[in-house]
Structure 1
Amino acid sequence: MSTNMRIWDRVDKTDTRYTKPAEVGGQKITSLSGTAMIMKATEIFGPVGLGFGWSVLEERFDKGFEMFSGEGDKRFSLGHELNHTMKIKFWFDLDGKRGELEQYGCTRYLYKSQYGTTTDGEAPKKSLTDAIKKSLSMLGFSADVFLGMFDDDEYVNHLKDEQRLARAEDRPAEERRQKQEQHDYFNSVIETMQGAQSLQELKKLHDHAVRRLTMRKDDTAVKRIAKEFKKLSPKFDQESAA
């Protein structure tokens, strides 16, 4: 582990127990637990206030879009949206040296909803949490989420299996369960490939299986899948020629 990456390489993988799907501005994202990130930071640096912490540098409300209600002659202004913004200085101690960085957190405070204008009384708390999470992300915390790897179901499923194994009370039993699951998956892929109706379908099955098996470092299964693809492909070439 290189000196420059020694924090990143310890914190880049996210514990899937502390994530949940969310939607922000119509975009689907993976929401991270702020408390879980603080817990991980405590593991790396020590208790908050001693090994790491933050101070608020700036707090303000920013004006957003103008809100309207009604139609035509009855249309009138409700005022402007307000967004809460907080700027913090985040610090941490590493081998007796103090590191610092600045980051922002933002939260909608006043906005229009289906019920009219709505205010979020917890906006300051949410902005602070947002700023802390973003600060930690600069050090590599939950980098797999911020790099978009949680958009890949195969990555998430593999990560869950790794974490189940690490937490298992009976590790050998969990290893056997995962091995059997992997064996069943391999057999189902071979069977499905043999029933493929086109070269495109066959290749799609091959590519998906190779990606999953490569992620799980099952080189033997990858080679067998590739061999099966090579064996079945000529059938479609012959059909095209006919």
Structure 2
Amino acid sequence: MTETNMRIWSQVDKTAPSATKAAKVGGMNITALNGLHMIMRATEVLGPVGIGWGWKVLEERFDQGAPIMGGKDGAEVVSPTLSHTVRIQFWYKLDGERGEFEQYGCTKAVYKSSYGASTDDEAPKKSLTDAIKKSLSMLGFSADVYLGLFDDKEYVEQRKDEEALETAEDKSAEEDRQKQERLDYIKSVLGGMQGAVTLHELKKLHDVAVRKLTAKRDTQAVTRIARELAELSEKFKEQAA
């Protein structure tokens, strides 16, 4: 039953790093997703828009918010802020059955910027894209981004390696490159650990490497580095005795 329920999710939860970019929204650093990429992935799994999945706009509106102050001494109301909201009914088909649910998308339409009151003429389009992306995320599309995994540098590096292999024209050459890169990294970690002058430095080098290799699911390398830690830790203890 679990495998059946997760059938869509498990196919689409991983995101290609090339379809993301770092962005700053409301003072927060986020991972922005390419909307067309999500639509392409949905088309691959569910079928063309309008046949295998789609949406219907149920409502859209502009909501007035706090005033934007300006003028002399900043005491004059220049304009109210406005946000655009759209509510859609999202639907999809699976094994001949139709599933549907509602979702919202929101965008700042009139807002305060360094230039004063600014207007986003594309707010309705952005709200619709936002609603579609949120709807797709409910089915598992790009779940790794929404779960915050793209905040983990090691996870992103692993996804970059996987994407490079998936898109490589010469997969054998790419595999060889990644294998050599792995060996070089392990060698550099072991060299650094062997050159550590304190037990604290040794453990720190070990922990950083294990975190990175665990993200890559490289249990063999993790075991090798753990063995090195145990052997070198004994030497530090003997020196301290």
Give TM class, smaller chain: over 0.9
Is 1:231 the counterpart of 2:231? The answer is: yes
Alignment match, 1:58:
59
Q: Is the contact between residue 62 and residue 83 of structure 2 (CA under 8 Å) also seen in structure 1? A: yes
* TM-score, L = length of structure 1: 0.94
Letter aligned with residue 201 of structure 1: E
SS at match of 2:3: coil
2: distance between equivalents of 1:20 and 1:210? 27
Shift of 1:35: 0.4
- Residues 93/191 of structure 1: CA separation in 2 closer, same or farther (3 Å cut): same
Return 32-41 or 193-202, whichever deviates more. Answer: 193-202
What RMSD over aligned residues (CA atoms) do the two structures have, in Å?
1.6
CA deviation profile, 1:50-96 (whole Å, cap 9, x unmatched): 11110111111112222212565x62122321111111000001111
Alignment match, 1:77:
77
Shift of 1:14: 0.4
CA deviation profile, 1:186-217 (whole Å, cap 9, x unmatched): 01111111222333322221112112222323
SS at match of 1:140: coil
1: distance between equivalents of 2:200 and 2:57? 56
Return 213-222 or 185-194, whichever deviates more. Answer: 213-222
Please, which runs of 5 or more residues in structure 1 have no aligned partner?
none
Alignment match, 1:158:
158
- Residues 207/71 of structure 1: CA separation in 2 closer, same or farther (3 Å cut): farther
Alignment match, 1:9:
10
| 1:39-54 mapped onto 2 (5 Å cutoff) | 39-54=40-55
Shift of 1:115: 1.0
| 1:92-107 mapped onto 2 (5 Å cutoff) | 92-107=92-107
1: distance between equivalents of 2:77 and 2:202? 58
Shift of 1:238: 5.5
| 1:1-242 mapped onto 2 (5 Å cutoff) | 2-70=3-71, 72=73, 75-237=75-237, 241=240
Letter aligned with residue 102 of structure 2: E
Letter aligned with residue 62 of structure 1: D
SS at match of 1:137: helix
2: distance between equivalents of 1:174 and 1:214? 21
1: distance between equivalents of 2:25 and 2:119? 17
Return 193-202 or 88-97, whichever deviates more. Answer: 193-202
Letter aligned with residue 104 of structure 1: Y
Shift of 1:97: 0.4
1: distance between equivalents of 2:78 and 2:35? 33
* TM-score, L = length of structure 2: 0.94
Q: Among the aligned pairs, what percent are the same residue?
A: 62
Give the 4+ runs in structure 1 shifted more than 3 A: 234-239
Please, which runs of 5 or more residues in structure 2 have no aligned partner?
none
Shift of 1:170: 1.3
Matched length: 240
Letter aligned with residue 189 of structure 1: V
